Structure 1
Amino acid sequence: MPAETPVCQLLERQDADYRGWLWVSPPRDAWLEGGQGSVLSADHGVLQSWRERSRPAFSPFDAQTVGEPPGAVLFWPKAHALGEWWLLWLCANLPEGTRLQLVGENQGGIKRVLKVLAALGLGCRKRDSARRCTLFETRLGRVDIDPEAAWTRFEAEGLTLISHPGVFGHGKLDDGTRLLLGALERHLPGPERAGDVLDMGCGDGVLAAWLARRGHRITAVDINGFAVEATRRTLAANGLEGEVLAGDVYSSLEARRFAAIISNPPFHQERSIDYGPAGRLIREAPAHLLPGGGLLLVANAFLPYPDLLERAFGGFEVLADDRRFRVYRAPVAGSR
């Protein structure tokens, strides 16, 4: 199977023997998934795809060890702070001297890797470039920075939130979530009518913690392992309880139903706009709602969610609109 993505096409033409290597935070690509080595990723979708092929797949938050691979390839992310975290994790968890290649798109900032490696005291050489991508190579060494230092705390809405560079809205409460919280305050039943609520795309856990503080029984889901870990830490930091799961939209929930589904769904995949997850969130929501329940979500005002809501629910209402963001509520049929 030929490589599909530009970064993998660049790797495909290398003369390196990648058998047994560790692929770190890679994109979805059939060439990788059908090839050699193992994967280390915080993306639940990537991990599931590899495991379905009976390929070794690890999360950085698993207790499992990745062993001592002959080398590793780090796919440099758009968020440079996240790339730095992956570097620190690899330095802390793989043997000193392990070969490391770093690959990424030029527009994604891969060339900044040179300064990042120099700051960590790691040498580097350019190995190849093609398809508007560049491949660098170095060897891992001991670095006196703990990857745990990337986790930060901040206060919002009377809550302590735990954040990481790999989580949406790292280190701050975004304006869309703030508008959604205001609408929830006005329109979601209070503690006297608390129920089972699903926070879909939980991020740093602000919605889950806010809802749990009001007495709701919380299930929080995110495809991003960093978000799952952040939400667990946020709930613990506030003395709150909730179930936090890794999953691709509803994949980890089977036939469970909730009194409400709350979401600030993502629509970006790296630099591209992707409505897929949000589309599934809306289309499949009625099957996961109890009678009288509803979906409440916030989205950029320009996104075409009204059409999706109309088709899935037969109607909806706008609870808040500040011209940048809108909060929608779509009740299941018969509960209007």
Structure 2
Amino acid sequence: MSAQLPACQLLERQQSDYTHHFAIAPPLDTWLVEHTLGAVSGDLNVVEAWDERGKLANSPFALSASFDRAVLFWPKALKLGIWWVEWLCETLPEETSLEIVGEHNGGIKRVPKVLEELGMACDKLDNARRCSLYATRTVKRASDAVQAAWQHFDALGLTLVSHPGVFGHGKLDEGTQLLLESLASRLPKVPRRILDMGCGDGIISAWLASKGHTVTAVDVSDFAVEATRRTLAANALEGRVLQSDVYSALDGETFDLIISNPPFHQERDVSYGPSQRLIQKAPEQLARGGQFIIVANGFLPYPALLESSFGSFEVLADNRRFRVYAASK
């Protein structure tokens, strides 16, 4: 099978044999899975795709494999790309071969300057499919460079810990703030079992836990999972945090309340798939009388999904940019 995605097509036309390379932060492409040794990614779906083919696959926070060749897929978020380069320099021996590939509209043209600032060589190997491919080698970096990417900031009386690439990095998202304002007068006074779906930096989970509720937080991104764990710890709060593709890790568990600011972007693409599954399967994950509350951009097509899944819903808040929807089982 040939590569489907432009960056993978650029690799496919190289004379290099990538079967000894680890793909770092890769997209989902069957050709890439078959033609690389393994993968490192914060995305659960990516890790599972390599694992299903019997390939080595890890999160960067739980690395158990060693490798001496890597190809990094440059992410849209510049600071996340820099973090991956620094992580590779810290994780791998000095002078390890590293290639970096990406689409022009995803910021790959910034790579030569980034590498220069990090004291790394840069050779351009190829340019096609509106993508570029660069080659470099790892260098010794300061031991705290990777940890320095974690950002602490205060919001709503809480200390939040965020990482490049995590939703709302470094600030309180407007939609999340509207959601929490709407919840303030509706939350039960007695503790409830609450699921925070798509937990991001953990602001919703920490806010709920601070009010005494039993919180389970999930996210498909291990960067978000790690951020939420750090946010809870920074505020001396308790909560269960799991990496999960929507409800996949919950094994049929039910909750009194499901709360979410669901994502609808994957890198530069709009994707409603996870949000659709979130809404469609919500009644199965709610206890009798349970509530489902989400915030979303006003233009997103969620009313029809809510109507189909719950029969009815209400709008708790609408500031013209975001709406907070609520439905009951």
Give yes or no for TM over 0.5: yes
2:284 equivalent to 1:287? yes
Residue pairs, 1:205-220, within 5 angstroms: 205-220=202-217
Could you say which residue in structure 1 is the equivalent of 2:48?
Answer: 48
Could you say which residue in structure 1 is the equivalent of 2:134?
Answer: 136
Q: CA deviation at 1:289?
A: 0.0
2:308 equivalent to 1:320? no
Instruction: Give the structure-2-normalised TM-score.
Output: 0.98
How many Å separate the matches in 2 of 1:270 and 1:85? Answer: 16
2:153 equivalent to 1:188? no
Aligned partners of 2:23 and 2:36 also within 8 Å = no
Aligned partners of 1:68 and 1:95 also within 8 Å = no
How many Å separate the matches in 2 of 1:109 and 1:118? Answer: 16
**Structure 2 alignment gaps of length 5 or more:** none
Residue 112 of structure 2 aligns with an amino acid whose one-letter code is L
Q: CA deviation at 1:112?
A: 0.4
How many Å separate the matches in 2 of 1:330 and 1:2? Answer: 45
How many Å separate the matches in 2 of 1:13 and 1:80? Answer: 26
Could you say which residue in structure 2 is the equivalent of 1:2?
Answer: 2
Residue 227 of structure 1 aligns with an amino acid whose one-letter code is A
% identity of equivalent residues = 58
How many Å separate the matches in 1 of 2:197 and 2:303? Answer: 19
Residue pairs, 1:242-257, within 5 angstroms: 242-257=239-254
Could you say which residue in structure 1 is the equivalent of 2:26?
Answer: 26
Indicate the RMSD between aligned Cα atoms, in angstroms: 0.9
SS of match in other structure, 1:129: strand
Aligned partners of 2:21 and 2:67 also within 8 Å = no
**Structure 1 alignment gaps of length 5 or more:** none
Aligned partners of 1:218 and 1:242 also within 8 Å = yes
SS of match in other structure, 1:186: coil
2:66 equivalent to 1:67? yes
CA displacement 1:205-251 (0-9 Å, x = unmatched): 00000001111111000001100000000000000111100010000
Could you say which residue in structure 2 is the equivalent of 1:176?
Answer: 175
Could you say which residue in structure 2 is the equivalent of 1:153?
Answer: 152
Aligned partners of 1:163 and 1:171 also within 8 Å = yes
Aligned partners of 2:219 and 2:242 also within 8 Å = yes
Q: CA deviation at 1:109?
A: 1.0
Of 94, 97, 103, the match for 2:95: 97
How many Å separate the matches in 1 of 2:270 and 2:19? Answer: 34
Could you say which residue in structure 2 is the equivalent of 1:331?
Answer: 328
Residue 121 of structure 2 aligns with an amino acid whose one-letter code is G
Instruction: Give the structure-1-normalised TM-score.
Output: 0.96
Could you say which residue in structure 1 is the equivalent of 2:110?
Answer: 112
User: Where do 4+ consecutive residues of structure 1 move more than 4 Å?
Assistant: none
How many Å separate the matches in 2 of 1:328 and 1:295? Answer: 8
Aligned partners of 1:181 and 1:207 also within 8 Å = yes
SS of match in other structure, 2:3: coil
Q: CA deviation at 1:185?
A: 0.3
Q: CA deviation at 1:67?
A: 1.2
